[in-house]
Structure 1
Amino acid sequence: MIDFRYHIVSIVAIFFALGAGVVLGAGPLKGTGSEIVQSQADKDRAALEDARADLIQAKALDKYRDDYVAKVTAGLTDGKLTGKTIAVVTMPSADNDMTNSVQDAIEAAGGQVTTRVSLDAKLFDPGQRQLVESLVNELVTADITFDPDSNTYQRAGMLLARGIAAREEGKPVDTEATRILSGVTGSKLVSLKPTPKERASLVVVVAAKPPTPAPDNSSYNDAVDFAEGLDQGSGGAVVAGVPESAQNGGMLKSLRGDSAATKILSTVDVANIPSGQMTVVFALVEQASGKAGQYGAVDAKNGVAPSADQAKGN
C-alpha cells in the first residue's frame, strides 16, 4: 500500500521541478525556445529565397531556350506547308494560348487555317452517346464509307471530317458539308469559327492538359476514336498537347497505347513551346506523305521530331 511518506516525497519532487523551471527560465537558458524558433525561421526564409532564385533562373533559362530556338531556327519551317489547308480542332478545355501558337506556327510555315472547331465536353459524355449515334445516322452522306468494325465515335469523327476536311486539296464546302456542319453545330456539341469556304486537307487536334485528379487513361477512348475518324476522313491528322497529356491521365498517353491509332495518327507532346510547335508543322508534312510518328519529350516512340528526310515537304 502506498503510505503517507510516498505522498510527501512526490509533492516535494513536484515543487522542486517547478522551482527548477523558474530558475532555468530566469537563468542562462532563458530565451532558448524563442531562439530555436527564430533560427528555424531564418533557415526556412533562406531556403525560400534559394528556391525563388532557382525558379527565376529556371524561367530565365526557359526563356533563353525558347528565344534561342525561335531565332536560330527561324525560317526552318518556311514554305513547308505552302499550298496546304489545315483545320484546327480543339478538345474540351484545350488551352487557347497554345492553340493560337500552333496556328501561328502553321501560318508561318505557309499553311492556311480554314477554321477552328471547338468540341464541347458533352460530345464525350457517356450520356450523350445515343445523341451522337443519332446525329451520325441522320447526317451521313452517300460518299462516306464506314468500316463495318468502326464504332460510334470513329464514325462521328469521319462525319465531322466530311464537313471540314477532305483527303485532297481544293475540295469546296458543298451542300452536304454545309448540312453536316449545320447539324453538328445545332446539336451544341460542336462550334466553329469561321465557317469554312474550303475543306482542309489536314487536321490538327489540340488536346487539353489532364484535370486533377487525373482520370483513367481509358476515359479518352472515345476522344482517340474521334481523332482516328478525323484522320480517316482527311489527308492526315496530328494530335498536339503538353507533356502532361503524354503521362498517365492524358489523351496522348491513351492514344499512344492504342496500336491502331498510332499507325495513322501523329502526336506531339510539347506543343506548348516553340520547338514543339515546329514539330507539329513537320508532323503535318509527314502526315501529308502518308506516314505517322509519335514525337516529343515523354515516351515518344519516334524521338523529338521527324527526321529531315521525313519532313522535306515542299
Structure 2
Amino acid sequence: MINFRYHVVSLTAVFLALAIGLVVGTAALNGPVADSLKDRVNGLSKHNEQLREAVNNLETEVKREEDFLTEAAPHILKDTLADRRVLLFTLPSGQEHADGIAEMLRMGGATITGRIDVQEKFIDPDNSVLLLGVAAKAARPTVPDVGLPSSEGVEKSSALLASALLDRPEGGSPVTDADRRSVLDDYSDEGYLNVPDKISGPAEAVVLVSGPPYVDRDATRKDRSVVQLAEQFDRAGALVVAGNGSSGGNLVAEVRRDPALAKTISTVDNANTVAGQVVTALAVVQQLTQKRAGAYGVGASVDSLLPERPE
C-alpha cells in the first residue's frame, strides 16, 4: 500500500528535479544562448530608435510643409476670388476642416455668403417623408416648390435650398432676403440645419465640405442621401466637394465614380490639410472662371495635385 511517506519522497524528488533543471538551464543561458539573445534585443532596440527618429523627422517635415503652405497661401490665392460670392455647406463629417477652407476662400478675396451645417437628421433616410413635409411648409413666393423633385425628402429639400441660396438663372426673379431667411428658419427650427450666421445673399458657387464615409448599418442609404444633396446643388450652380479621402463610399469617391457628376462637380480629397484647402479655393476659381471641373488631391482617380491657375 502506498503510504504518506511515499508521497513525501515522490514530491521531494519532483521538486529536486525542477531545482536542478532551473540551475542547469540558467547556467546554459548564461553562455552563448544568453549572449545571442542580448545581441538580438540590443539590435531590435537600436532599430526601434531609428524608426522612431525617422517618424519624428517625417512629422517635422510635414509640419514645415504645412507651415510653408500657410505662409505661401496669400501669395498663391491673392485676388483669385475677388468679388466672388461663395457659400459653405458642411456635412457632419466635414465640420472639422470647414474653418480652414473658409480662411483660404477669404484669402482669395471671396465673400462667404454664409455657412450652413447639415445635421445628421437631414441625412437620415428614415426622415424622408418628414423632409417632404418641411419642404412644402418652407416654400415661399420667391422660393416655390413647383417643379422640384418630389419622390424623396433629401432630394426635394436640397433642390429647394439650392433655389433659395444660389443665383437664379439670368432673367429669373431674385429671392427676397425675407423668403431666404424664412426657408432656412423652417429647416433650422426642425433641427435639420444649423445656420451660425446670417446669410448675406445669394452665392455663385458652393463648397460642400465632407469627410469619411458612413459605416453604420444605414451607410449605403446615407451615402445616397449625400449624393442627392450634391446633385441638386450642382444643378443650381458651381460646386466643389472638399473631402477627406477618396475611397470607401465617401462623397468624393461617389462623385468620381459617376461619369456624369465627375464632369460638372470638382472634388478635392485632402481638404483636411492646408494643401487641400488651398486646392479647394483654386478649384472654385476654375469652376467660376473656366466652367471646368476636375479631381484633385492625392488619392485615386485624380487629374492632378491642383488645378491649373488661369492665365
Fold match by TM threshold 0.5? yes
**Residues 242 and 268 of structure 2 are in contact (CA less than 8 Å); yes or no, is this contact kept in structure 1?**
yes
Equivalents in 2 of 1:301, 1:93: separation in Å? 22
How far off is 1:213 after superposition? Answer: 7.7
Aligned with 2:224 (options 197, 206, 221):
221
**Residues 295 and 306 of structure 1 are in contact (CA less than 8 Å); yes or no, is this contact kept in structure 2?**
yes
Paired amino acid for 2:51? A
Larger mean Cα displacement after TM superposition, 148-157 or 266-275: 148-157
Match of 2:137 in 1: 138
Equivalents in 1 of 2:295, 2:151: separation in Å? 23
CA-to-aligned-CA distance 1:32-75 (integer Å, 9 cap, x gap): 88877766654554343233212211111212322333445641
Equivalents in 1 of 2:204, 2:302: separation in Å? 26
Equivalents in 2 of 1:218, 1:256: separation in Å? 18
Match of 1:242 in 2: 244
Equivalents in 2 of 1:256, 1:213: separation in Å? 22
**Residues 82 and 111 of structure 1 are in contact (CA less than 8 Å); yes or no, is this contact kept in structure 2?**
yes
Equivalents in 1 of 2:148, 2:164: separation in Å? 19
Match of 2:102 in 1: 103
The answer for unaligned runs of 5 or more in structure 1 is: 1-13
Q: Which structure has greater helix proportion? A: 2
Q: TM-score, normalised by structure 1?
A: 0.79
How far off is 1:16 after superposition? Answer: 11
How far off is 1:203 after superposition? Answer: 1.0
Count of residue pairs brought into register by the alignment: 296
Cα RMSD for the two superposed structures: 3.5
Match of 1:118 in 2: 117
Q: Secondary structure at the match of 1:193?
A: coil
Match of 1:77 in 2: 77
Larger mean Cα displacement after TM superposition, 49-58 or 24-33: 24-33
Equivalents in 2 of 1:239, 1:214: separation in Å? 24
Larger mean Cα displacement after TM superposition, 297-306 or 121-130: 297-306
Equivalents in 2 of 1:273, 1:220: separation in Å? 23
Equivalents in 1 of 2:214, 2:46: separation in Å? 34
Name the % identity: 23
The answer for unaligned runs of 5 or more in structure 2 is: 1-13
Q: TM-score, normalised by structure 2?
A: 0.80
Match of 1:128 in 2: 127
Larger mean Cα displacement after TM superposition, 29-38 or 158-167: 29-38
Equivalents in 2 of 1:29, 1:193: separation in Å? 70
Match of 1:292 in 2: 293
CA-to-aligned-CA distance 1:155-207 (integer Å, 9 cap, x gap): 221212233332479x6652321221111111111011211131222111110
How far off is 1:267 after superposition? Answer: 0.9
Distance of aligned partners of 1:278 and 1:27 in 2 relative to their CA distance in 1, 3 Å threshold: closer
